[in-house]
Amino acid sequence: MIRVLIADDEALMRAGIRLILETDDEVRIVSEAQNAREAVEACRAHPVDVALLDVRMPGDGITAVADITRHSSRTRVVMLTAFGEESTVTSALRAGAHGYLLKDTGPRDLIDAVRRAAAGDPVLAPEVTRQLVDFRTRLSHGIDAASRRIADLTPAERDVLRLLGTGLSNAEIAAQLHLSSSTVKSHISSILTRTDCTNRVQAAVLAQEAGLLD
């Protein structure tokens, strides 16, 4: 038996999901919630195998994901929402969501997703998977391009660029690297020239894009 929690602030949506899932003899709806707090409390009060959570319900669905995964380790959280923006998806997955589905998922696909989540398999809507692949590709290209721009920097210049990327002043960089302020200023001038940056703000962004702050 797969024990399921449905959390959505729309009663009609909860009823529709319940009707779909209850067509499977192995699925049992153990609780419903209309906000993030109720979802977290339900997972603590009942053994829940799969929690279906809306992202934008009152109290914030992503916050609920983090709380549920922290306090109810047996529960697999799957987001079921109309919102598939890249930032929302990545925030949910980072918070501990085991899957991400859109509300236009078909009945059979929803039941299959619940079964797979209960078995420990990740569940992602095809549209979400494509978004994540595109995002990773763009991110990889951005890192590669930034890495090429800093390839000719000396080790000392890389150290200065890394600290510049954290927002430190010349004096603070000098103190951390045990250099004189004039040496730091010289390094920054060289960095701007070598990386084709017009100012230190652009250089700081480049440091982040190249992964120097990771």
Specify the CATH number for the domain of residue 66.
Answer: 3.40.50.2300
Which residue range(s) make up the domain with 110?
2-125
Q: Are residues 119 and 186 in the same domain?
A: no
Phi, psi dihedrals of residue 29, rounded to the nearest 5° = -80, 115
Q: Are residues 121 and 27 in the same domain?
A: yes
Q: Are residues 23 and 62 in the same domain?
A: yes
Three-class DSSP labels, the chain: CEEEEEECCCHHHHHHHHHHHCCCCCEEEEEEECCHHHHHHHHHHCCCCEEEECCCCCCCHHHHHHHHHHHCCCCEEEEEECCCCHHHHHHHHHHCCCEEEECCCCHHHHHHHHHHHHCCCCEECHHHHHHHHHHHHHHHHHHHHHHHHCCCCCHHHHHHHHHHHCCCCHHHHHHHHCCCHHHHHHHHHHHHHHHCCCCHHHHHHHHHHCCCCC
Q: Are residues 116 and 157 in the same domain?
A: no
Q: What's the total number of domains in the chain?
A: 2
Can you say how many angstroms the Cα of residue 2 is from the centroid of all Cα atoms in its chain?
27
> What is the Cα–Cα distance from 48 to 35, expressed in whole angstroms?
17
pLDDT value for 133: 53
Question: Which of the residues in the chain have pLDDT under 70?
Answer: 84, 126-143, 214
Q: 40 near 96, Cβ under 8 Å?
A: no
Specify the CATH number for the domain of residue 171.
Answer: 1.10.10.10
